[in-house]
A and B are shown apart, each in its own frame.
Chain A
Amino acid sequence: DSGVTQTPKHLITATGQRVTLRCSPRSGDLSVYWYQQSLDQGLQFLIQYYNGEERAKGNILERFSAQQFPDLHSELNLSSLELGDSALYFCASSPEGGALAETQYFGPGTRLLVL
């Protein structure tokens, strides 16, 4: 158990809909990362937040957005969903988020299926 929690575990929805994925980092970790794992693209970095502020952006679509709240939990919002958005979405956390050698601890993921 990494200490990172994600809800829900599974999500089934329809095209065009909007969903919210939630992540609680390990106690004391200030940085949260979101990754997408799909068969086509593999594991891809989406976005990073540090202490409530966006720190880095990866291959995140404009239809997707995220935020980190004062209690440090984070939410990833996916809107206008398409079939291709079906994937496993991971959240990871780390203590600072700027140190090169810092370990990122991954949650169990949310499996999203868009029908």
Chain B
Amino acid sequence: AQSVTQLGSHVSVSEGALVLLRCNYSSSVPPYLFWYVQYPNQGLQLLLKYTTGATLVKGINGFEAEFKKSETSFHLTKPSAHMSDAAEYFCAVIQAGTALIFGKGTTLSVSS
């Protein structure tokens, strides 16, 4: 079965600092990986996804993620945090072309 593990349930950064949210996956087949963001009292919004091809994926709001097969990782980064980035972030892998299997989420706090 496929799964993802998000390291760190809570990450705190200062405004302008690098954001790094970690995700490792487990899959016996080539994975299709996603990062979603959930702002308070809202639904989930897709940040970016990896399917095939280029391993560095650019998403919305300045976020990007790099698929590293050797490390089974798909970490999310942003060079400079903004206060508006404070939210919960979920890494997910798709299973059997249907269900998204989510990690437990990482809450990002940004301080001024």
Taking Cβ atoms with an 8 Å cutoff, the residues of A that contact B are 2, 4, 33, 35, 42-45, 48, 55-56, 58, 90, 92, 97-109
| Chain A residues closer than 8 Å to B97, beta-carbon distance | 97-100, 102
Q: Is B32 a contact partner of A56 (Cβ separation < 8 A)? A: no
Nearest B residue to A46 via CB reads B99
| Distance A79 CA – B45 CA, assembled complex (angstroms) | 29
| Distance A2 CA – B49 CA, assembled complex (angstroms) | 17
Nearest A residue to B29 via CB reads A100
Interface string of B46-68 (1 = CB under 8 A from A): 10010100000000000000000
Q: Is A108 a contact partner of B43 (Cβ separation < 8 A)? A: yes
Q: Is A101 a contact partner of B32 (Cβ separation < 8 A)? A: yes
| Distance A101 CA – B97 CA, assembled complex (angstroms) | 8
- Given the known inter-chain contacts A42-B105, A100-B32, A101-B32, please indicate yes or no for A56 contacting B44, CB distance below 8 A: no
- Given the known inter-chain contacts A42-B104, A43-B105, A101-B49, please indicate yes or no for A48 contacting B99, CB distance below 8 A: yes
Query: Would you mind naming 22 contact pairs between A and B with Cβ atoms under 8 Å apart?
Result: A4-B43, A33-B100, A43-B90, A45-B99, A45-B100, A45-B101, A55-B98, A56-B99, A90-B44, A97-B97, A98-B98, A99-B97, A100-B51, A100-B94, A101-B51, A101-B94, A103-B49, A104-B46, A106-B36, A106-B43, A108-B42, A108-B43
